[in-house]
Structure 1
C-alpha cells in the first residue's frame, strides 16, 4: 500500500474557496478515477509557512494504479487546479510506502 500526499500552501485569500472546491469537486474527481481506495484531507496546524497549508492524501494499493493515475488522470486534474488557483498556491507531491509493523 502507498500514500500519495499532496501538500498545498495557499494564500489566505484563496483558502476558503479552495477548500470548498476540493471537497465538492476535486477529491470526488480523483476518487472517481478508481485508482485510490481512500482519501483524507488535513489542515496543518503548526505550519511555518505564510498562508494556509493542507495535505490531501490518497491511499493506493499498487504502484501500477499510482502510475496509471499519474499518466492518465493527473495531468488534467492538476491543470484544472493550476488554472483555477494560478499564482495563489504552491504544491509538493510525494509517494510514500506503508511500512508493516514488525511481527
Structure 2
C-alpha cells in the first residue's frame, strides 16, 4: 500500500479561494477518496495544505495525478501564478510486525 501526498503552499492573499476551489474539485470527484488537510505550524510562509490518499498500486497514483492533481495544477497556473505551488511524495507502507 502507498500513501500519496500532495502539499500545496499558498500565499495568504489567495489561500481561501484555492482551498474552496480544491474542495469543489474533490466534491465533484468523490471516487478518488482524497482527504484535504491543513498543515499546522508550517515552516513555510503562507498556508500549507495537503491532499492525501491511500492506494494499493503506483498505477492508482497515476490515476489520481491525471484525474485530480493535474486539474489543480492547471487551475493554479491559470489563476494564481507564483502565488501557490505543489509538490508531491509517495510513501510505501512497511509492515513492522
Q: In structure 1, what is the Cα distance between the partners aligned to 2:69 and 2:36?
A: 21
CA, structure 1 residues 24+63, in 2 after alignment: closer, same or farther (shift >3 Å)?
A: same
Could you tell me which residue of structure 2 aligns to residue 6 of structure 1? 6
Equivalenced residue count is 96
Q: Which residues of structure 1 form unaligned runs of 5+? A: none
* Equivalent residue, structure 2, for 1:73: 67
Deviation (angstroms), 1:9: 0.8
| RMSD over equivalenced CA pairs, Å | 2.2
Q: In 1, Cα distance between the equivalents of 2:57 and 2:9? A: 28
Deviation at 1:48, TM superposition (A): 1.4
Divergent runs of 4+, >6 A: none
| C-alpha distance 98-28 of structure 1, shift in aligned 2 (>3 A) | farther
Structure 1 pair 99–87 and aligned structure 2 pair: CA distance change class (3 A): same
Contact 2:76 2:84 in 1 (8 A): no
Q: Deviations over 1:45-97 (max 9, x none)?
A: 11111101111112222122223444x43674122332132111121111111
Alpha-carbon shift at residue 5 of structure 1 (Å): 0.6
- Residues of 1 paired with 2:54 and 2:76: CA distance? 20
What does residue 28 of structure 1 align with? 27
TM-score (norm 1): 0.75
Q: Which runs of 5+ in 2 are unaligned?
A: none
Calculate the TM-score normalised by the size of structure 2.
0.79
